[in-house]
Amino acid sequence: MDTLIDDIGYRLAQRIRLERDGRGWSLADLADRSGVSKATISKIERAEVSPTAVVLVRLAAAFDLTLAGLMLRAEGEGERLSRAAGQPVWRDPETGYLRKQVFSRPDHPVELVRVELPPRQRVTLPASSYAHIRQLVWVLCGDLVITEGGTRHMLEAGDCLGFGSPAETTFANETSAACTYAVALARS
């Protein structure tokens, strides 16, 4: 799995540079649009550091993409059959959050992601990351607290939450055991 993580990190670095270059933006332009420093973007593009989930969301939003859309572009077009061994995996270096792209194709409206959130960790994503998608979260094991625009939802294994209007959202594992959940996304 480490090879897949390293590979997606390199492909993300390349994709971010391609997205920036394709728009004719300088590092300063992308920094202004995303709120991410020029130095950080430069290190990400050179694959010297792995971006956190929050940084990736900010960069994706600057490109008018969702996080899933940016990841899809970095991962390349997939086949209709998504074999477990070939599903791209990415780890957030700040929280240890592990994201596995189970299924995604540019010609299919639904994406499926599997996330492992380590104990006592949280990830907060801005409202912009939900601007062009409809999403639901299904907890597979463990407990997950989702705070969506000020509303707190406590989910246990088997619970499912459909998201409302785009709002800043925090995914938190407040327990001492890992939490695994599936995210289904539909582009709108």
| Per-residue pLDDT tens digits for 13-62 | 988 998 998 899 999 999 999 999 999 999 999 999 989 989 999 999 89
User: What letter does residue 43 receive in the DSSP assignment?
Assistant: H
Q: What is the pTM of this model?
A: 0.68
Domains of the chain are: 2-75 (1.10.260.40), 84-187 (2.60.120.10)
